[in-house]
Amino acid sequence: MKRDFLIVGLGNPGKAYEKTRHNFGFQAVEEIARQSALKLRKKFLINGRLAHGTIEDCSVYLFQPGTYMNRSGEAVARLMRRFGIKIEDLLVIVDDVAIPFGQIRLRSHSSSGGHNGLKSIEDNLKTNGYARLRIGVGDDYAGDLASYVLAPFTSDEQRLVPEILGRVAMIAKIWLTEGLTSAMNYANGKN
| pLDDT one-digit tens code per residue, 57-66 | 999 999 999 9
Write down the domain spans for the chain. 4-189
Residue 183 is predicted with a pLDDT of 97
Residue 141 clears pLDDT 90, i.e. is over it: no
Residue 170 clears pLDDT 90, i.e. is over it: yes
Residue 82 is predicted with a pLDDT of 94
DSSP string, 123-186: HHHT---SEEEEEE-----SS-HHHHHTSBPPHHHHHHHHHHHHHHHHHHHHHHHH-HHHHHHH
Residue 1 clears pLDDT 70, i.e. is over it: no
Residue 150 is predicted with a pLDDT of 87
Q: What is the Cα–Cα distance from 122 to 118, expressed in whole angstroms?
A: 6
Which is nearest to 134 in space by CA: 175, 100, 86, 176?
A: 100
Q: Catalytic site residue 115?
A: no
Q: What is the DSSP letter of 12?
A: -
Query: Number of helices and strands (H, E) in the chain?
Result: 6, 7
Which is nearest to 89 in space by CA: 130, 44, 30, 39?
A: 130
Residue 91 is predicted with a pLDDT of 98
Residue 191 clears pLDDT 60, i.e. is over it: no
pLDDT (mean) for 107-121 = 89
- The single residue of 22, 52, 109, 115 carrying the catalytic annotation is 22
Residue 112 is predicted with a pLDDT of 78
Residue 26 is predicted with a pLDDT of 97
Residue 127 clears pLDDT 80, i.e. is over it: yes
Q: Classify domain 4-189 at the CATH class level.
A: alpha beta
Report yes or no: 176 and 131 within 8 Å, Cβ to Cβ: no
Task: Tell me the percentage of the chain whose pLDDT exceeds 90.
Answer: 76
pLDDT tens column, 93-109: 999 999 999 999 999 98
Q: Which of 93-97, 109-113, 159-163 has the lowest mean pLDDT?
A: 109-113
Residue 190 is predicted with a pLDDT of 58
Residue 148 is predicted with a pLDDT of 86
pLDDT (mean) for 38-45 = 93
The mean pLDDT of the chain is 93
